[in-house]
Every structure is written in C-alpha cells, then in structure tokens.
C-alpha cells in the first residue's frame, strides 16, 4: 500500500498512541465503508504495532471480523466476532460488547441466519446492565423483533445507528 498523506501525518504525531489510534480508526472506517481489500492492506501495515497495545485486542478483532465478513470468510468472521465480544465482556466493556454484537447480528442476518441473532440479543440484554437506558431500550427492541421472528436488517441497522449516536454523544460530553 502506498503512503498517502494521511498515513504520513498520523506517524508524524508526537504521541505514538494517538498515531496508532488514528491509523486503527482509519482501518475501521475503511472496513465499515465496505472497502475490505484496502482495509485489509491498512491492517497489515498496522499489524506489528498492535503488539504494543494489547488492550486494543477487542477493537482489533472487531475490525478483522468486519473485513472477514466483507470478504465472505464466514467461519473466520464468526470466530473474530465471538472473540471480540468475549474480550469486551471480560473487560467489563458492555457498550463495546453491545456494538460488536450488533455488527455480528447484521452479519448473521446477511447470512440468512436470523435464528442465531435471538440468543445474542437475549444475552446482551442481560450482560449490558450498567449501560445507558437507551442502549437497553435498543436491545429490548432487537430482542422483541427476534423473538417474533420479525427481525430484519433494517431493524438491526436502526439499533446500530441509535447506539452509534449515543456513543458519539457520550464521548462529546466527556
């Protein structure tokens, strides 16, 4: 992968952790934008630095799951989603666990596996205690739709948008 100006600027930051965060964020944005090959290349370039940030394993695995999902590597994506979720739950990061579970749910729906979403929605309703009321309400909607077998990608995407907006608002308030 060539060295675009954004990569050079990220490396020029005085703070190596900030530079790493910028570059990881770029990988995540590329994956979420559906540019899986470019995201995979950017991840490969950043991969040696992940060893310096072991607390970033959850986000790293989430990005790998998104890339694998986009590349059609179903079992690999499932494994990465499951591992990322486990790391977030073990680290008491319920909000991040909820977000990766929603990403995983969208993937399962895209794979025509809605029956696998219900257990995830039910478990997150239980495990997400301690997060904002809106998050629990969003999970309740997802869970109810899954139980009625009326869960669609549009419903799940709506929950993802709600949680993403909540997260942005929470970070802005800090």
Instruction: Of 19-23, 92-96, 113-117, 144-148, give the lowest mean pLDDT range.
Output: 144-148
Determine contact, residues 49/14, Cβ cutoff 8 Å: no
123-168 confidence digits (pLDDT tens): 766 555 455 555 656 666 666 666 667 667 777 777 666 666 655 4
Determine contact, residues 146/114, Cβ cutoff 8 Å: yes
pLDDT above 80: residue 1: no
Q: How far apart are CA 154 and CA 147, in angstroms?
A: 16
Q: Is the model more confident about 143 or about 12?
A: 143
């Amino acid at each position: 992968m060539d060295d675009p100006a954004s990569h050079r600027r990220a490396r020029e930051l005085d703070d190596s952790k900030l530079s790493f965060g910028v570059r990881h964020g770029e990988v995540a944005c590329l994956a979420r934008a559906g540019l899986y090959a470019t995201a995979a290349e950017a991840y490969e370039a950043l991969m040696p630095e992940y060893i310096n940030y072991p607390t970033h394993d959850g986000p790293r695995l989430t990005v790998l799951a998104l890339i694998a999902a986009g590349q059609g590597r179903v079992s690999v994506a499932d494994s990465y989603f499951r591992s990322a979720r486990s790391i977030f739950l073990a680290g008491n990061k319920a909000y991040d666990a909820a977000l990766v579970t929603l990403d995983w749910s969208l993937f399962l729906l895209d794979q025509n596996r809605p029956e696998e979403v219900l257990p995830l929605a039910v478990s997150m309703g239980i495990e997400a205690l301690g997060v904002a009321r809106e998050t629990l309400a969003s999970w309740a909607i997802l869970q109810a739709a899954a139980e009625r077998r009326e869960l669609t990608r549009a419903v799940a995407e709506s929950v993802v948008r709600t949680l993403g907006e909540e997260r942005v608002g929470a970070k802005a308030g800090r």
